[in-house]
Structure 1
Amino acid sequence: MNLQHFRHTLFLFILASITLLACQKQTPKLEIVPENYKNFSISSGLATHIKISGEPWVVDYVKLEDTQSDVVDSNGQALRLDGLDTIYAANGWLSMAKSDNGAALFLRLKENFEQTPRTVRIGLDANGQKEELKITQHRASRYRIVGKKIKELTNLRKEYTSDHECSPLQLINGSSEVKSMATEQIFQNVKHSSTFESEDYGAFAWLGSEQDSMLFMEELAVEGGSRWSPPVKYKEGTTQTSYLDENGSRTHFDVDPYRKLQLSGKMTYVERTCEYIFTIQNEDSNDRFDISGVWKQILPIHTTIIIESNTPIVSIAESNNVDHTD
């Protein structure tokens, strides 16, 4: 190759390289997702669809930033979205799906009830190009119940009588006059029981530590009359309160002079099960969501006092007149 031909070839190579670089500068990198979705904060749940550019695309990973750990499904597998099936995080707080035409990502995040912000990082891969969504969720300043539906499962109601936790009591009147003596000690260990159960995400976490958790639930009607209607503490698991605190009435027995009564007791209980749905409102965003569960109640409603024995005692005066000499 002569020198002139070499120079001509080199010139064409340089020209082609400059043209290629110019074309690359003029063709901007394709964004997979809009800029406003790449890093944003919310103080509520989220249900949205995000336009995705580039095909094919997948969600490569979903991570929690504070732990750098993968978000997993109910089987403990790291979340990855490829096909058209909806994928769910364990406890159902996050779900994702592709639109039928593959042009959008459907994303749903439930409320973050922790005081610590929750930052979710979602990694996208579109035909080899990678981008990441970063969403930070804050707890709302307050939540409140704006709707309640409570339905008793009447076929599960039970009524029974038991001496469980009823204590024996002895009443002694050593005076010469009739005495009216209280008998509530028989029932001092009897409890009213209230149990809330729910598998819904955040069913109890929405309540703040400063909030009043006493809720009015469905009153108990027995034989056409209301036997119970006060509020109960809404919390996960069982709460017990004293029957004597719940029930203001007290029972007294008239004990004759110089008599000793031995008493026992039984309590009649009603056991019932109710299904509930609460509608909760996020006071910052006004977004609403439902939680559902089961409320079980064991309620003492009627006492029975049994006189086991009624025996005389020696009066103090008589005792003083007894000759104790051998």
Structure 2
Amino acid sequence: MPAGYTAAHSNDMNAAASMQTIQTLIDNVEQVIIGKRPVIELAVVALLCRGHLLLEDVPGTGKTMLARALAKSVALDCKRLQCTPDLLPSDVTGVPVFNQKTTEFEFRPGPVFTNILLADEINRATPRAQSALLECMEEFHVSVDGHTYPLPPVFMVLATQNPIEMAGTYVLPEAQLDRFFMRLSTGYPSAAEEARILRAQAHGHPIERLQAVLGEAELLVARQAVSEVHVEDSLADYVARLVAATRVHPDLRLGASPRGTLALCRAAQGLALLQGRDYVSPELVKTVAQPVLAHRLILRPQAAAQGRHAEAVLADILNQVPAPV
């Protein structure tokens, strides 16, 4: 070992290698999702922070394609679950099947036993089917017929939903929304970006040519690097005060949970690593606050009747709560 070599040097080298790997992953996904790099970066942050991701937007804006591109860019097992009103919980988790040869019941795993589960149009599944994901997303295991089956060490739910089409859809319950690390929206592309999309798909879709650039080993190293990003005590106090302010705001019936506090801090650490920093700043916290917290807030009926939105309330809180210098 060279003289002067310390564990801190090793951590710095791991962080630098992880940052380069992350940038390669983002560049790879951007071959498919053109002009939405900030959204891609936040989606990658969710992956690095062991979080689940909810993509919510109008039809045709690339929600499913973003989920597919992210899953395909990582050399992990990926399964797709098309959510429909007739979906049963056993269709998600699996079901015991009787084996006539052994005269015993054997568990047949469902699509949830994978690394990345793409739950397309999740709000089309009934609340009963949606509830099958609650234990998976929080406990990372499945309980069926009195037995508990662990999920893989790397497990992520990538869900999409359409917020404007009400026919045949079911509102996600608050308990399930709280289990999503982030909620992102891709939005419409600009005219110039849409022209680039047309040119990129002139001879086939880029998703068909996309190759994996990140393996499980590299992902685990990057996740460890995220946990080593420093969070000052004053910054941790700032995060706690932001979340506490959502619980007493007059326009909110329900504020963010402690799970939201932890997610906000982890997301800021992930974004710091992505930007090559070894510490979290208040600006990073503010950047990730909307995608991490907004979907966890429930407006009072009076505020909703006045046209208020959770995003606007959260923006007010970010302006009112003083950040550490």
If the length of structure 1 is used for normalisation, what is the TM-score? Answer: 0.21
Give the number of the structure whose residues are more often strand, by fraction. Answer: 1
Give the number of the structure whose residues are more often helix, by fraction. Answer: 2
Bigger Rg, which one = 1
If the length of structure 2 is used for normalisation, what is the TM-score? Answer: 0.21
